[in-house]
Structures are given as structure tokens and as C-alpha cells.
Structure 1
Amino acid sequence: MKKKLFVLAAASSFACAAQAQSSVTLYGLIDAGFTYTNNNGGHASWQATESNEQGSRWGLKGSEDLGGGLKAVFQLENGFNLEMGALKQGGRMFGRQAWVGLSSNQYGTLTLGRQYNSLQVVVAPLQVGGSTTLTAYSTHPLDNDNINNTYRTDNAVKYTTLNYAGFQAEAMYAFSNSANFAVNRAYSVGASYSNGPMNLGAAYVRLTNPAFRADTVGAIPADNFYSASTMPFLASAATVQQWGAGGTYAIGPATIGLLYTGSLFGNPTAGSLFSGATGNGGGRGSVHFENGEVSVRYVFTPSLFAAIGETYTHATQGSGTGNYWQTSAGVQYFLSKRTDIYLNGMYQKTSKHLHAWIEAIGAPSTTDTQVAAVIGIRHKF
């Protein structure tokens, strides 16, 4: 009897020890509200909208201590449409992230799977929309730099260094999974520095034949890229380069931000930025965007935040050129640590060759201006 009790006690202790060396966390975020647009494809509209501040999601992340400073790590993250209960990211179960890897307290972290590229990890948090005081609508026109996560990267291998006195770097390569090694592959590099009130970051991304001939197995799957129906001048590019650098600096309750990003969509085979739904006039060939952003974020109380951002975007394609000016402002009030309500307003004006199209609004304006306002609630668990 005593031997049985000893065995049971030993087994119980082993199970507890094993459990103490591993952890799995279930987490999520739910965001919904209402959006008003003064010109949504030619008509004023009121819409029930979701994922306004951040994309609604749930996920699992965890680690296992393997000893000697080494851990196995993983993350699975689902994205869903709260209003319809449908999967996002092309109907993927874990469309936001799905990766596994090893993390060492001596050598850094190596991960494999569907992941965010370096521009999304390092530079996106520096944009005014990355503060979450403002909604996804405040990001740059057409999400040309992908810091609003229009696409994610499959078949990716990423290495992230340790944090050395605030400096950290990463590099990622994504395979085409094709006999043609150069078709639909991607790579990115980035680095960040954080020291007290200052945060800096810079990154570069290159895609080769993304979404190649409706390819769904390569690094950038066709069903999770820029829309071929609304933006063929981006979706059909032979190569894509995206880059950016910026920083934020906190002065008391205020944080000042500066950001520059750019993108080059090389030799698209279809469409023109300056024709069809998004504008008029000349323009063929490679599409080049440059975005400059200045922002101020202010903490009035631990519960009340506000932000304002101004973005200027210059676009060229062949002989066509155009400009976007966008102002975004918003307030965010926390009812608790996990629940907040928000109110945002956006105004965009373009040059005569382009129609205004605030990011995440359903359709472009039929004129050179567009106004949107969104109110909603976000809850984290």
C-alpha cells in the first residue's frame, strides 16, 4: 500500500514538474462598431463594421523549457469577421500567424511557418495607427507599404537576435515551394532600437513574382494578397519592394512620431493606378509610392488617450503622378484594462488624377475627397 502511494506521489510530482516547465496561453481580441462614410462608391453610408482598431482574433501561444536555456515556442492565431462569424485571410483556420520554433537565451530565436515580415514587425508599430488609439482606417493609402497587413508570408524561416542593450535585428526568408526556386519567394530584414523614451526601427522587404499565376502554395498566396479585381496595378506586379524607417519619442504624456515608408510594384501586367476606380489620366508600368507621416499621441489620464496623424503620399506610374493628403484623429477611453471604447475621424484629399480611398473603406470616393468616422468597442481576453 505504501509502495502504491509512493508511486502515485512520484507520478503526481513528475506531472506537476512537467507542467511547470511548459505553458500554453489562450488569448483573443474582439472589436466592433459603426462606420460613416460620406462617399462610399458615390453614396453616403452607415455600416456595422468590425476590426476597426485591431483585427478580431483568438490564438494559442506557448513554450516548453528544454533545458540549457533552450525553449520550444509556438503561436497559432486565427482571424475572424465578428459581424458574420466567418474566417478571414482567405478562410484559413490560423490565417494571422502559424509558426513553431526554438528560442535560446544565448543565440536568439528561429521560427518556421506563416509569419509577419520585418516591416510589419519593426516599422508598423511606429505608425500612428499602430498605437491603437486610431483605427486601421488611418494607415497609408491602399496599404501600399503593407503595414496594415494586407498580406502575410507563408513558408517562412525567421531568425531574431537577442536584445542587446535595446538593439534587436531579424531576417526572414520564405520559400516558393516550387520547382522554379525564384517564383513567389520573399525575404526581409529589419532592426529596432529602444532606449527609454525613444523607439527606432527600419526594415526592407522584397517579393519575387508574388501571387504568381494565382499560386496558393508559394510565399505570398494569391488569395491573401492585393485584390486583383480592385487593384490589378498592385496585384499583378512581377516584383514588390517595400521599405521604411521611423521613430517615436516620449516627452511626458506626449509621444511624437515620424515615419517614412516606400514601395515599388515592378512591371504589373494589368491595370493602371490612374484609371478605372481609383483615378483617371495617364500612367502605365511600375507603381511607386512614398509615404511621410508625422503624429502626436497624448495620454490625458491612465484611461484617456488621444492621437492625431498627418500623412502625405506621392504616387507615380509611368507618366502619371498623384498625391494623397490624409488627416486622422481619434480618442480612446479605457473602461477597464481589457475593454475600451473609441471614436475616430479621417479626411483624405487627393490630386486631380486620383479618387480618394481611405484604407479599409469598402469603395473609393467618386471625387477627390473622402470623410469617414468610426465609433466602437474593443475587448481583450
Structure 2
Amino acid sequence: MKLSGNLSKLNLALIAVGAICAGSAHAQSGVTLYGVADMNVEFANHVGTVPSAANKFNAGPSNSVYRMDSGGLSGSRWGLRGTEDLGNGMKSVFVLESGFNLDTGTSQQSSRLFGRQAYVGVQSTRFGQVTFGRQYTSIFEGLANFVPASFATQYEPIVMLTGANFREDNTIKYSGQFGPVSALAHWSFGTGLALPTTVANGPLLGGNGEVPGQFRRDTAYGAALTYIAGPVGVAVAYDQFNPTISNPLTAAALGSGSFKKATIAGSYAFGPAKIMGGYRWGQNKDQNGGLIERDDFYWIGANYQVTPALGLTLEYDYDHVKRFFASTSTPNPWQVAFIADYTLSKRTDVYLTTAYAKNAGLGLDSAMIGYANSLSLGNSYTLASGQSNMLGVAVGIRHKF
């Protein structure tokens, strides 16, 4: 009888909690829970370790790896998004989005709780949207529909194209849709990006910014315009990041550099196919205006919907390195990637993704981008010492909710 009484009390408690939750859900009817769970098994060859002071900036011997990876076509994530109607065509909006490693259950984006996105703002049906928080840069969002692999997590050279600062803390962002034209602009008071040195005598880059008396430190800004009407699409974008340049031995800040990128891209759709490509100009300078890096990046590729369930993607990326520190003869990295994606239902698909990279690791990971792919993903795509190419193949499953 005593046990039965306790169960009755438990049932009453559960009913009360359910009623509270139901009332909360009704009061916040504009809130949506969403996410992606993406997992694959991968093979990659000629893999080394990220160069650092600890290993004397030596990538080490070549190895093949067989591993389980979180995020092949999409980064695994969960999030909350919501809106509230304020009247007169105005809404308040928010997004909280957390990236995680599905294979280990750990957080991504330097263990941030909401490292993918975290912002709040207001939206007008007439004038557009203004948001505040951790957000994607204008160049990243503006190019999303002009890259064949759609910024697929595993092998896409996102950092080479947009910069490692494609997500930024402390950001004010504007976005507006005016017929076929989309306008984007943003300003970050401090990007929150910090990269260790991966070359001998190279500087530490980035930091938290927002330092009293040093307004420029780790700031960033950019803008993008896109035009999509019928089968034709065009995009232009500019991005600038002013990272802290620090002494690698003492970590003392020396000043702010200027990392600049400008791009133009286009697309054309016909029948079940869509071709797209573009060009990105890049120039990185140190705190004294000295040239660190100058390159021209190109990409081209296509999507083809073979059947309603089967889609194919092919993408070629090439970087013409004009200068990297003192070198004007750095081998030009390039990569070809292929994706076959088969839809099982509206929310679940299976896929094969593969890429071959020359003069860099997969995703064009190298000292040119501070090995940012390897450092952020937690899986090395660093070319081993003495190697000049890398092949990766992965088979996976993705579920969206």
C-alpha cells in the first residue's frame, strides 16, 4: 500500500509537470527544436599530425586512418529558433544552435554551448532583419548557394574560401530580401577566433578582442549581395578580419593585421542540373603592413539530380599561391571532390563522399590556413612529411529533425 501511494504521488507530479510544459509550449508557440545527426566511417591516407612547437613543426610519418567521423555532409547539431509577432510587420527572432561530435558526445567550436550560432534580434517584413550575437559572416552566407558541395563539413575547403573566421562572436548583422536581391552586412567587435602558430617563427593569430583602448583588435566586417532569378544567380562579397598578431614565444600582442577577401560567383540551372563557380581574391598582412599571404582561389562544379532520390555533386577547387611569408614558389594546392547522396525519406539520407587533394591535405588543409580544418574538426587532415597528396573516402548516414 505504501508503494502504491508513492506511485500515485509520482503520477500526480508527472501530470503537473506535463501541464506546466504544455502551458509553456503554448505560450512559446513560435519556438522550434531542430537538428541534424550526421555520422560516417572514413578512410584517409598520407595523414600526419598538425605541426606545432611540441613536435618541432614536423608533421611526422605517413599513416592511413580508418575512423568514425561526426559530420560528413552537415555538421551534427541541435538548436532552438523562435519568433514573436510584435505587430506592424515586426517580429523578434532568436537562434541558439549547438554543434557536437556525434561519435563522442562532446561539444564543438572550442566547447562552446551554442558555438554554431547564438543571436537575438528584430525582423521587419519591409526593411529586413538586424541581429546581435555569434553569427555567420556575410561572405559565408552570401556564397552558400554558389558552392556545389554546399559547404559540406568533411572535405569542403570552406576556410580557404571564406577564412577561418566564417563564424564570429560579438557581431551585429543586417540581412534583407528585396525581390531577387539579398543584401547582407556585418560588424564584429571581437571575432573570438584564435589560431596557434603552425610554422616555425610564425605568429599567433587572433584572440577575444574587445580590449580597452584597442578598438581595432580582432574586429571584422563584411558585406554581400546576391541576385537569384529563374535559372541565373550572381553573388559578390567582401570580408575583412583584423586579427591580433602575437609573439609565439611570449604571447604578447604586437598589433593587428588585416586579412582581406573579395569574391564573385555565379550559377546557372537547367533541367535537373546546376553549374556554379567563382573566384576569390585574398591578401593577408601583418601588424606592420608586411605581406603574409597573397592568393587567388577558384572553384567550379555542378549538382545533378539523377532521380528524385539520388543526387550527385562534383567540385574542383584550385588555389594559386602568389606569396606565403617569404616564399613565392609554394606549390599550388587543388582538390577534386565527389558526393553521391541518396534520400531514404524526407528526413533521412545515406551518402558517399570522396575527395583527392594535391599539395595539401583534404579540405586544402595546410599552413596556408593554419591547419584550421584539422584543429576545428579534431581529425587530422595534415599531409605527412614527404607526402604531396591525400585521398579520403567516407560512407555515412544523416538524419534531420
Which residue of structure 1 lines up, in the alignment, with residue 342 of structure 2?
A: 333
Q: Deviations over 1:225-268 (max 9, x none)?
A: xxx99xxxxxx982211222212211101111112123222128
Output aligned runs, 1:173-252, within 5 Å: 173-176=187-190, 177-179=210-212, 180-208=214-242, 210-211=243-244, 213=246, 238-252=257-271
Which residue of structure 2 lines up, in the alignment, with residue 362 of structure 1?
A: 380
Computed over aligned residues only, the root mean square deviation of the Cα atoms, in angstroms, reads 2.7
Which residue of structure 2 lines up, in the alignment, with residue 304 of structure 1?
A: 310
Q: CA deviation at 1:301?
A: 0.8
Output aligned runs, 1:78-227, within 5 Å: 78-130=98-150, 132=152, 136-139=154-157, 143-146=159-162, 151-161=166-176, 163-176=177-190, 177-179=210-212, 180-208=214-242, 210-211=243-244, 213=246
The letter for the 1-side match of 2:216 is A
The letter for the 2-side match of 1:157 is I
Which residue of structure 1 lines up, in the alignment, with residue 283 of structure 2?
A: 264
Q: Sort the Cα spacing of 1:78 and 1:342 in 2 relative to 1 into closer, same or farther, 3 A.
A: same
SS at match of 2:233: strand
Which residue of structure 2 lines up, in the alignment, with residue 8 of structure 1?
A: none
SS at match of 2:144: helix
CA distance in 2, matches of 1:263, 1:98: 28
Find the partner of 1:25 among 27, 32, 49. Answer: 32
Extract unaligned runs of 5+ from structure 2.
1-21, 49-61, 191-209, 250-254, 366-372, 374-378
SS at match of 1:155: strand
- Asked whether the equivalents of residues 175 and 186 of structure 1 are also in contact (C-alpha less than 8 Å), the reply is yes
CA distance in 2, matches of 1:58, 1:211: 32
Q: Sort the Cα spacing of 1:357 and 1:343 in 2 relative to 1 into closer, same or farther, 3 A.
A: closer
Q: CA deviation at 1:152?
A: 1.4
Which residue of structure 1 lines up, in the alignment, with residue 83 of structure 2?
A: 63
CA distance in 2, matches of 1:22, 1:166: 30
CA distance in 2, matches of 1:40, 1:121: 31
CA distance in 1, matches of 2:165, 2:44: 21
Q: CA deviation at 1:168?
A: 1.5
Q: CA deviation at 1:20?
A: 8.3
Q: Deviations over 1:321-363 (max 9, x none)?
A: 321121111200001011111111211123xxxx545444614
- Asked whether the equivalents of residues 362 and 392 of structure 2 are also in contact (C-alpha less than 8 Å), the reply is no
SS at match of 2:161: coil
Q: Sort the Cα spacing of 1:184 and 1:365 in 2 relative to 1 into closer, same or farther, 3 A.
A: closer
CA distance in 2, matches of 1:62, 1:82: 25
CA distance in 2, matches of 1:145, 1:153: 16
Find the partner of 1:324 among 333, 336, 339. Answer: 333
Extract unaligned runs of 5+ from structure 1.
1-14, 215-227, 230-235, 270-283
Q: Deviations over 1:133-171 (max 9, x none)?
A: xx530326xx22336x6651111111122x222001111
Shift >6 Å, 4+ stretches: none
Identity of aligned residues (%): 33
Which residue of structure 1 lines up, in the alignment, with residue 41 of structure 2?
A: 34
Which residue of structure 1 lines up, in the alignment, with residue 14 of structure 2?
A: none
Q: Deviations over 1:57-114 (max 9, x none)?
A: 0000010001111100111100111111111111111000000011011221111111
CA distance in 2, matches of 1:305, 1:172: 34
CA distance in 1, matches of 2:144, 2:126: 27
SS at match of 2:162: coil
- Asked whether the equivalents of residues 245 and 287 of structure 2 are also in contact (C-alpha less than 8 Å), the reply is no
- TM-score of the two chains, using structure 2 as the length reference: 0.74
The aligned length equals 323
SS at match of 2:110: helix
- Asked whether the equivalents of residues 268 and 286 of structure 1 are also in contact (C-alpha less than 8 Å), the reply is no
1:289 aligns with 2:295: yes
- Asked whether the equivalents of residues 290 and 313 of structure 1 are also in contact (C-alpha less than 8 Å), the reply is yes
The letter for the 1-side match of 2:211 is S
